[in-house]
Amino acid sequence: MVTKTLDEHIGTTYGVCGGKPRIAGRRITAQNIVIWQNAWEWTRMK
């Protein structure tokens, strides 16, 4: 069963990425996006 939220851009599926919120249809978690954004900001500030 897939639960979609935020206009179907973010989804969760039991057993995919540990059930964490992810980009619908991909195995990229919302947590990864936040980590990448923080890393990008960190390198941009240097």
- What sign does the dihedral 6-9-14-16 (CA atoms) show? negative
| Structural domain for 19, as ranges | 2-45
d(CA 2, CA 19): 10
What pTM was computed for the model? 0.64
Which pLDDT value is given to residue 20?
93
Binned at pLDDT 50, 70 and 90, residue 7 comes out as: low
Q: How many structural domains is the chain composed of?
A: 1
Q: 27: closest CA among 16, 36, 38?
A: 16
Six token digits for residue 7: 């206009």
Binned at pLDDT 50, 70 and 90, residue 2 comes out as: low
Task: Give the model confidence (pLDDT) of 17-46 as tens digits.
Answer: 999 999 988 899 999 999 998 888 777 766
